[in-house]
Amino acid sequence: MPLRILSAEWVVPVAAPPFRGGGVLVDGEQIIGVGPAPELLRSAPGTAITDLGHAALMPGFVNLHAHLELTAMRGYLEEPRFMPWLMRVVSGRRRLGEEDLRASALAGAVESVRAGITTIADIGQSNHGFHAMSQVGVRGVFFQEIVCLQAEDVDQVFHEFEGRIAPLLDRQSKRLGVGVSPHSPCTVRPEMFERLMTWWRASPRPVTIHTAESIAELEWLKNGTGDFASLLGGTDFPPDPPGCSPIAYLDRLGLLEAGPLLAHAIHTDRHDIELIARHHCAVAHCPKSNAKLGQGIMPLQAFQAAGITVGLGTDSAGSNNVLDIIDEARFCGLIHRASNRNAALLPAGELLRMATIEGARALGWQDRIGTLEPGKQADLIAIDLSRIGLQPIHDVEAAVVFASAAGDVKFVMVQGEPLFKAGRMTSVSEQETALGLVKAGMRLDESTASAPEP
């Protein structure tokens, strides 16, 4: 592939301060230079320049926590109580056919790319998230999910999990990896964690888990009370609660040995944070999902002070309702400043680091992506700054974080391959994808109307 220069009025490398009138020199899939456009041209005379105009050229965003296959549940889960919300996710998912899940995952992948997300940590019970990411060309890790409530189901559930993950392991690539996600401490039996860790020790892979997300989870693990107690009452889940925090319980189960990416981690104390730091776990902070479900605010400053890597996740469209990391970064900054009554917290540049390089670090990919630097993969985006609501540009990082929106993203490239340019996705028809999503949404409505919820 020939050399190319992508230039824009602003370059925001994240690894260095923003500067004007620069660009990125790309050789195939790799960045080989970042600097003023004339300098790049001097180092590679005759190279074609694509000028992205009045825009901010920057590394693509990393979404550390998504469920692409649930995109059809946008607006379907407007349920204020956590446990009925979770039950509605489960029943709604059962109502979607394979074709609906496929369309839903593809739509989620397209929405993500349109929002400048170039790397996704996606969790799914089907494999449609993996295939959707592959079809659209986005980078990521697909985590195959495990839920197991009954002792008698452990063998069967694990067997099915192995059957689902096996074909994906053969299809891994430089762009797309595969991992496993035991759903949460309250929806996966201890025996299954044990089985999973034996499997993991033989062949270590990325692991992610929802944890310390809800008040219900905390109540059940600590005291055996609350909503999970009623849910698990109908199962043969171990009747005695562990009597500790979710993080301490995961440590006791041995899962922290795998250094899992912890999604949410809201209800954590000093001891939990020490455990997380000691096991070098990273955290997917999902402030919008947590706020929308009324579950609390993750103690971000304590995590950062302990040296824990924290990136951002949207969670699914069912709880957020948009797969938009710019919006997540903005909300993250605002909610922590408000709750700490401290406007000095989380300046725009730091929020951009959380949305890019810290997300990359959480996946162990900090040497490959997350900044514009020579030697890194050409995963980059351009955000159009010409809209009146963004003008004037006094501080380009503040413009991106506090004034721009997903719809301002005008160019997206992964591994040197453009995925979105000139207003169009390069690999799929957006119209057909949207139609599939609407049909999947209609299926949810129809089946909800015809069958009462369990």
Q: Is the dihedral of CA 303, 63, 287, 148 positive or negative?
A: negative
Distance from C-alpha of 224 to C-alpha of 227, rounded to nearest angstrom? 9
Within 10 Å of residue 30's Cβ, how many Cβ atoms?
16
In the complex, what is the shortest distance from the CB of residue 328 to Zn ion, in angstroms, rounded to a whole number? 13
CB of residue 181 to Zn ion, shortest distance in Å: 9
Min dist CB 289 to Zn ion, Å, is 7
Rounded (10°) angle between helices 82-95 and 430-450: 110
Half-sphere exposure in the Cβ direction for 431 (13 Å, CA):
0
Phi, psi of 59 (to 5 degrees): -65, 150
Task: Tell me the closest approach of the beta carbon of residue 283 to Zn ion, in angstroms.
Answer: 13
- Closer residue to Zn ion, CB minimum distance, 56 or 186: 186
Q: Which is nearer to Zn ion, 246 or 418 (CB)?
A: 246
With respect to Zn ion, which residue has the nearer C-beta, 315 or 379?
Answer: 315
Nearer to Zn ion among residue 72 and residue 401 (C-beta): 72
Min dist CB 353 to Zn ion, Å, is 23
Q: Which residues bind Zn ion (CB under 5 A)?
A: 315
Please give the Cα distance from 37 to 8 (Å, whole number).
9
Residues making up the chain, counted from first to last = 454
268, two tokens: 């954590």
Name the minimum Å distance from CB 330 to Zn ion: 20
Q: What is the DSSP letter of 53?
A: -
Q: 142 or 420, CB closer to Zn ion? A: 142
Ranked by CB distance to Zn ion, the top (closest) residue is 315
The Cα–Cα gap between 413 and 366 comes to 18
What is the nearest approach in angstroms of Zn ion to the Cβ of residue 315? 5
178 versus 352: smaller Cβ distance to Zn ion: 178
DSSP annotation string for 315-370: --TTTSS---HHHHHHHHHHHHHHHHT-TTSS-HHHHHHHHTHHHHHHTT-TTTSS
- The residue (of 315 and 328) whose beta carbon lies closer to Zn ion is 315
